[in-house]
Amino acid sequence: MEFLPIKRALLSVTDKTGLVEFAGYLQDNGVELVSTGGTRKKMLDAGLNVISVSDVTGFPEMLNGRVKTLHPNIHAGVLADKDNPEHLTTLESFNLRPFDLVCVNLYNFAQAKANKLPLKQAIEQIDVGGPTMLRAAAKNFHGMLVAPGPETYDVIKADLDANDFAASLKLRKDMATKTFALTAEYDAMITDYLSSTDA
């Protein structure tokens, strides 16, 4: 589709710069907000209405936060092709709803590397759910908008404001391209770290 109305957003960020303002902008325009742990608390503390990911999945965060969003109830809503009636029928059959926006940035592995943390501690800063959501949303850019960092918020708001609160295909493709570049850089950084570190 050329223009994607934004009605439901999933937000889970490490860098919370500009989060409250961006989430508030979304909510003011009728977007339902879904979020995890610290991100959700930050928004709740600012007076925003935010649904817990656990309420969507039916499972609590577990394994010290290693498992939060890795669930079909999340990823089906991110990966469903909105132009494919079969996909939409499948969502309905499981009482699931699609997402339109994924706002995620990654654990700060660069800081762990710079601080020369012991290997066991450093690997806890390797994000798994974040890159998975980012890549899923970026792959599905024909029906999804992905916001991979605070530096994208103003660009996204300008596009939405210009298009009656619907994301243009150009914006969605640009954000997908940026997202794949970021996840590739993130993986390369982890590869470099692991290859230069003793077990």
**What CATH number belongs to 3-195?**
3.40.50.1380
Q: Quick check: helix, strand or coil at residue 159?
A: helix
Q: How confident is the model at residue 107 (pLDDT cuts 50, 70, 90)?
A: low
What's the mean pLDDT when you consider all of the chain? Answer: 90
CB 117 within 8 A of CB 144: no
**pLDDT at residue 122 greater than cutoff 80:** no
Kindly state the tokens that stand for 125. 């800063």
Mean pLDDT of 128-155: 94
Tell me the domain boundaries of the chain. Answer: 3-195
Q: Is the pLDDT of residue 170 over 80?
A: yes
> What span, in angstroms and rounded, lies between the C-alpha atoms of 65 and 59?
12
Q: In this predicted structure, what is the pLDDT of residue 43? A: 97
Alpha carbons 63 and 184: distance in angstroms, whole number? 26
Q: Could you report the per-residue pLDDT of 72-93, keeping only the tens digit for each?
A: 899 999 999 999 999 999 999 9
Say what the pLDDT of residue 106 is. Answer: 81
Whether 194 has a pLDDT exceeding 90, the answer reads no
Please tell me the distance from the alpha carbon of residue 91 to that of residue 136, in angstroms, as a whole number.
16
pLDDT tens digits, one per residue of 19-56: 999 999 999 999 999 998 889 999 999 999 999 999 99
